[in-house]
Copies of this chain bind each other. A is one copy, B any other.
Amino acid sequence: MFLAMPKVVDREQYRKELLNGCVELFAQKGYGSSTMRQIAEGLGVSTGTLYHYFKSKEDIFMQLVQELCEQDISRFFAQASEVEGLEARLQAVMDFVLKNLQYYQQQMLLWVDFFQQTRIGSDEELQFLRQIWNGTRDATVDYLQLPDTKLADFLMIFIDGLIIQCIYNRSAEDADWYHSQSQLMIQMVLNHEQFSS
């Protein structure tokens, strides 16, 4: 009865290893342009094995996104949880974003690519994505100790907008521009808080 247990654990672990092995390829070539054969080759396995662990290319991607998001949030809190005060914490958030800007740019392109390719609209996938967004938003509310979600939403919209700029600016060469815009954002939020009180 318990003989199968270790196998399951192994399977789960192996699955995660495979997922982590996909990150780079997806980041470089996007979702639609990464073929199952390339993924398999990159992982050093056969396509058959891939289909043994994931039911489709779509499935690989969804599981990958989930995995990465969990890693992201915990990575942020690992280094920023002891900072105190609204301004310092806003600064910490923006610093983290800017430092990982290229990474998030790739992620954003990946997502949009995925949504264009798989025209689903199925509630399932939509729910899934919303969950991720709301999770991140709630974590932000908590971290900044804001009274409601409105300001966190505002901040995250701005961050998304900032990430999108990669399409026009290609890579983070315009570091100054990104920096001054994020400072402006912080100032805006602080002003707003001052007015409110």
Contact with B along A149-178 (1 / 0, CB 8 A): 011011011111110110111100000010
Could you give, for residues 113-138 of chain A, a 1 whenever the CB lies within 8 Å of some chain B CB and a 0 otherwise? 10111010100001001100100000
Q: Which residues of B contact A69 (CB under 8 A)?
A: none
Question: Which has the most chain B C-beta neighbours within 10 Å: A30, A129, A161, A180?
Answer: A161
Does A191 belong to the interface (CB within 8 Å)? yes
Chain B residue with minimal CB distance to A149? Answer: B177
The smallest C-beta distance from A135 to any residue of chain B, in angstroms, reads 12
Segment of A12-20, A40-48, A88-96, A181-189 in the binding face: A181-189
A11 at the interface (CB under 8 A from B): no
* A interface residues with partner B (beta carbon < 8 Å): 29-33, 108-109, 111-113, 115-117, 119, 121, 126, 129-130, 133, 150-151, 153-154, 156-162, 164-165, 167-170, 177, 180-181, 184-185, 187-189, 191-192, 195
- Can you name 24 A-B pairs with beta carbons within 8 Å? A29-B119, A30-B116, A32-B117, A33-B116, A112-B112, A113-B113, A121-B170, A126-B168, A126-B170, A130-B169, A150-B181, A150-B184, A151-B184, A154-B185, A157-B181, A158-B161, A159-B161, A160-B160, A160-B164, A161-B162, A164-B164, A184-B192, A191-B191, A191-B195
